Structure 1
Amino acid sequence: MARVVYCGGEFVSEHEARISMFDRGFLFGDAVYEVTAVIGGRMVDNDLHLARLERSLSELAIPMPLPRAEIEAIQHALIEKNQLMEGTVYLQVSRGEEDREFVYSADLKPTFIAFTQAKNLLNNKGQTAGLAVNLVEDPRWNRRDIKTIMLLGQVMAKRDAKAAGFDDTWFVEDGTITEGASSTAYIVTNDKRIITRANSKAILPGCTRAALLRLCSTHGVALEERAFTIAEAQGAAEAFQTSATSLVTPIVRIGDVSLNGGVPGPLTRQLQAYYLEHVNMLQS
């Protein structure tokens, strides 16, 4: 059966959904998006995602298309209509549509679409065995804190990583790791401290990152927010990444260097358990 999606202010079949060719998201990448994980038919950390959506729109002076409560109601309706138990809900808001001009009109009405995707989030290669990540120079613009749909740099990096035998990519700038191509990057030192970059315009403020940092505080796990070098990453005891779709995913190889004998490390496994407990509490 065809998926039900939200487009043009109503729920329609995915085959009936249409967006104008003059939409600024299509013409300029003038749009933002969010992805919320769904596990057991319920959304995970959705309050964080909706707050980040509102912040991203504000940074670009795009108005919210609907009140936050109405957007959440649409998300719930899509999950129910598509009988989604595990996967994601995708939201996208563009500035709106008009004839192609770089300087946009002040009274544009945002274009809002939403859809679900069924995905295996809990039992996949990344969760069980860990991933190998390539290292490449960060190709993106300097406002990475805004979750725009301008993802060509990430698309090219992930394509090249796959062609080279890697599972994913971490970006490098000025000799330090910024973040993953679609994730937050972390290393674990030999004395069991987690290192991850502090939020700034250089990285996206991850929602799963925010949830995990709270869990680290709750469980007394030492964590330091700072940049780390390639040498630190490749000399780390363990590494992992987080995102809405990857949850807490072990990294077992960075470039040509294996970590912890090429298997997920014990602290990473503990953090996976803490996060799944957090997810289960959200379901209750």
Structure 2
Amino acid sequence: MYLNGDFVAEDAAHVSIFDRGLLFADAVYEVFSVLAGRIIDHAAHMARLERSLAEMTIAHDAAATDWAGVLATLIARNDLTEGTIYLQVSRGAADRDFLFPAPGTPPTVFAFTQARALVDNPMAQRGMRILTRPDRRWGRRDIKTVQLLYASMMKMEARAAGVDDVWLVEGDVITEGTSQNACIITRNGHLVTRDLGHHILPGVTRLSLIDIARQSGITVEERPFTIAEAQGAAEAFVTSASLFVMPVVEIDGLSIGDGRPGMETMALRKAYIDHARGTG
């Protein structure tokens, strides 16, 4: 692992019980995908990390660290070929107080790898089944913080129901998945994904996929869409760093299209994987 400037064995990595990431979820994070030992969309992830730090006023100059070198070292030392790297920055350790600690308190910074199959994920062949549930998260979902309790609860609810995940909704409008951006392909072939704002995370995979879709001649609409529109769509899918482009075949028990991963979705998945392999 990387911890506060050093590389240490996993069982030797420790943080203070007074760390604000632990006590207040006062921390931000990023998850990088790795294919063939190379990081995908590194610059976009680092730009989002810097934005999250600024929005949270966490005093850590991400640009001052050679993160490309740090992540490359983690990949090499852990012999990671395919998987993810988790990077977190908290406001640091201080006496428990709702007020932020004094200026100069050093942040807590760590990163670690997780080996997993990203390309040959069997879910891509069968598609995801989704429930919809009310979105009860805080109002700044555009900041990638570690405040993930509600998302975790919804993932457990999905598991208990025998499905794969949850899409969160306000009224009848879908915001996003528990850890993914939500997308549909309309009957006239348009790709629709929720517009950016405080209500959703600006996904890096979402951003790359929009560029790929437009370069392929697909019309992209960034706007709200309802549960009913999603259920009546030709295809549906999610985007995330660990799932890439993952088809959705059922929402609240109703099949999307013919109930199988859509051809356009699978073509976009392949195009994204080609992008990842070519520009990692």
Q: Shorter-chain-normalised TM-score: which range?
A: over 0.9
1:54 to 32, 38, 50: 50
2:207 to 207, 210, 216: 210
The residue type paired with residue 208 of structure 2 is: A
The alpha carbon displacement at 1:68 in A equals 5.5
- 1:151 matched to 2:148? The reply is yes
Alignment partners' CA distance in 1, 2:163 and 2:142: 26
The residue type paired with residue 216 of structure 1 is: A
The alpha carbon displacement at 1:65 in A equals 4.8
Aligned with 1:224: secondary structure? strand
Aligned with 1:156: secondary structure? helix
The alpha carbon displacement at 1:222 in A equals 1.0
Alignment partners' CA distance in 2, 1:196 and 1:66: 30
Partner residue, 2:254:
257
Q: Which moved more, 1:126-135 or 1:227-236?
A: 126-135
What pairs up with 1:1-284 in 2 under 5 angstroms?
5-67=1-63, 70-104=66-100, 105-283=102-280
- Confirm or deny: 8 A CA contact 2:213 2:220 kept in the other structure: yes
Q: Deviations over 1:53-81 (max 9, x none)?
A: 00000001112254265122111100000
The residue type paired with residue 92 of structure 1 is: Q
Aligned with 1:135: secondary structure? strand
Q: Unaligned 5+ residue runs, structure 2? A: none
Aligned with 1:261: secondary structure? coil
The alpha carbon displacement at 1:279 in A equals 1.2
The alpha carbon displacement at 1:122 in A equals 0.9
The alpha carbon displacement at 1:106 in A equals 2.4
Q: Deviations over 1:215-261 (max 9, x none)?
A: 11211111111000111011111000000000000001111101122
Alignment partners' CA distance in 2, 1:169 and 1:263: 18
Q: Which moved more, 1:60-69 or 1:167-176?
A: 60-69
Aligned with 1:249: secondary structure? strand
- Confirm or deny: 8 A CA contact 1:7 1:113 kept in the other structure: yes
Percent same amino acid at aligned positions?
47
The residue type paired with residue 48 of structure 1 is: A
The residue type paired with residue 238 of structure 2 is: Q
Alignment partners' CA distance in 2, 1:128 and 1:20: 43
When the two chains are superposed, the root-mean-square deviation of aligned CA atoms in Å is: 1.1
Alignment partners' CA distance in 1, 2:122 and 2:270: 16
Aligned with 1:92: secondary structure? strand
- Confirm or deny: 8 A CA contact 2:124 2:261 kept in the other structure: no
Q: If the length of structure 2 is used for normalisation, what is the TM-score?
A: 0.97
Aligned with 2:11: secondary structure? coil
Give every structure 1 segment of 4 or more consecutive aligned residues whose post-TM-superposition deviation is greater than 6 Å: none
The alpha-carbon distance between structure 1 residues 267 and 66, as it changes in their structure 2 partners (threshold 3 A), is closer
